[in-house]
Structure 1
Amino acid sequence: MIFYSILVGIGLLCLFLARRNNTDLKTHFLQKQTSSNIPALEAINLASLHKMKLWKKILRALMPAIEMLGQRSGLKITGFIVVMIAVGVYTNDILLKIHTLWLPMLFPIIGCLWAWSWLLKKRRHEFEQNFPDALNIMMSAITAGESIMQSISYVGRTLNNKVGHEFKDMGERLKLGEPPEQVFNRACRHYPYPAFLFFVVTIRANMSRGGQLKAVMARLIRVLVDSRTLEKRKTH
């Protein structure tokens, strides 16, 4: 019984952390402002990564999957854990009749690991499906004469999915005056996939030195669309 109470407590903790993570953008941005320059800030962040506590590392690994659950993620996690406990108890006491605590303990642990892996795979699949559309919209805005910041914001206003929300977040932070390095580094932590990393490198290089942005983006879009088409053919 104590074990079940602990698991429910973990679910409630996830609910608290999920709500805490959904802070207002402007408030979060103002709290993060410091008088130090960007290189010093990056040095502090790099140093803090090595000294990060274990529970923070675990939370950082879990957050992408938690974000996939959307609103009331903590409640969904708690419900899932309770269901897995019930299945474990039923299997242990009714089906197998072995009357041990190991099976009820293993069911929620294995279930949570499976759900975490499944959510990460789903997140990457959704990114691969929606990212080419985001690039196409951004390409159209740039071709129409919009700046990079305006085109990023335009994608956020046009695309109503998680990738679009990420572009919207980037555009709002850039409008508030947050340094592009910080904005793009945060976005790369949310989507640490090769296509997105290459996109960010291309954008940052263009913002600092200029170059043929449209040509590079066109090639990237073509590769991603071909990859998505090939993936759809494999599934059908």
Structure 2
Amino acid sequence: MILILSIILILVGAVNIWTWRRNRERLQVFYNVEVKNTTLSSLVESQLSQRQQSLWQRISFDFNVMMRSYYNLLIMGQSKSRLFVYIFVGTVVGIILNGQYLHYDSYTVALASGIGTVVIMLFLKKRKLKKEFYNTFPEALNTITGIVASGSAITTSFKACGNSIEGVVGKTLKEVDKRIEIGDNIEGVLMNSYQRLPFPEYYFFILTVMVNLDSGGELKEVLSRLTKMLTNNQVLVKTRDGKTAELRMTMTILGCMPFAFIFILKLISQTHYDYLMDTSVGRGILYYVIGSVAIGFIIIKGMINKIV
């Protein structure tokens, strides 16, 4: 069980670090933006770039930012007490299932169940947040573009978006407006809001706002292009999902079949099921099945994501 948990954690960590660095590489061109204000330049260099750091310093920086983002995502929209209840219930369910089917060490299963519950919650919340962001952020950009086009300052548009847009985008922009009104540094407020919306498009948006506040520019045109790009990307994503729906369904069915067979094995032959679960050879086969399914899911998922 410890071996399975270690493999899963290593794979999840590697995929997340690779995804994080890939998103940063897409925006590498914006690190070279020259600004006139020394304070803004220092902010951009210290928070958006890695400067001349060693490999371990960069890994540590990426890991800390990633963990902060995951923590903010985990507690978003719920209290810490409710989060604790969910983790507790998931741990208890894991212990009960272990007693019925797996027969592993209870302490190891309790730890694995708690971590697994957190991972599942992060996956579901990240999926929900991503869907909500890409559905509402173009509307926020249209509102901001209209306010900027009327001659108002960009900072006045955050309040309008917070009052008119539902979901996490509206709440985040409303929080940005409140913190700006009480006198917080706008660059720091925007960078903190990125922890709640860790998406490349929002990253580009706040960097554009920061540069515009410092030196001016065609903000309306840039935001219009960003809105158009988001809309086109959503169309491409929906097209991709439609064309790969059969492949994804097949992948899900094939991935579930080995575990369904194991469950059926318990019903039709308890002796063979006990051999699979209670012997070193049987557990080796089980580890191979879980590992091969997990690796196959990651490879196929990566291939699908590269389409867009």
TM-score in terms of structure 2 length: 0.53
2:78 to 64, 71, 74: 71
2:232 to 213, 218, 226: 226
Q: Shift of the alpha carbon at 1:107?
A: 2.0
1:142 equivalent in structure 2: 148
2:217 to 204, 211, 216: 211
8 Å contact from structure 1 (residues 88, 105) kept in 2: no
In 2, the alpha carbon distance for the partners of 1:189 and 1:233 equals 29
- Tell me which amino acid in the other structure corresponds to 2:177: G
8 Å contact from structure 2 (residues 148, 157) kept in 1: yes
Task: Percent identity, please.
Answer: 25
Distance 1:144 1:87, change over 3 A: same
8 Å contact from structure 1 (residues 65, 119) kept in 2: yes
| Bigger relative contact order, structure 1 or 2 (CA pairs below 8 A, ≥6 apart) | 2
Distance 1:94 1:139, change over 3 A: same
- Tell me which amino acid in the other structure corresponds to 2:97: T
Q: How far does the alpha carbon of each residue in 1:145-195 deviate from its partner, in whole angstroms, 9 at most, with x for none?
A: 322111122111111211111111122222223222222222223323221
Is it true that 1:104 corresponds to 2:96 in the alignment?
no
In 2, the alpha carbon distance for the partners of 1:129 and 1:101 equals 42
1:169 to 175, 180, 188: 175
In 2, the alpha carbon distance for the partners of 1:144 and 1:57 equals 37
2:68 equivalent in structure 1: 60
Distance 1:194 1:58, change over 3 A: closer
2:292 equivalent in structure 1: none
Q: How far does the alpha carbon of each residue in 1:67-98 deviate from its partner, in whole angstroms, 9 at most, with x for none?
A: 33x132x2332222222222222222233456
- RMSD of aligned residue pairs (Cα, Å): 3.0
1:188 equivalent in structure 2: 194
2:253 equivalent in structure 1: none
Report the structure number with the largest CA radius of gyration. Answer: 2
8 Å contact from structure 1 (residues 64, 120) kept in 2: no
Q: Count residues in correspondence.
A: 189
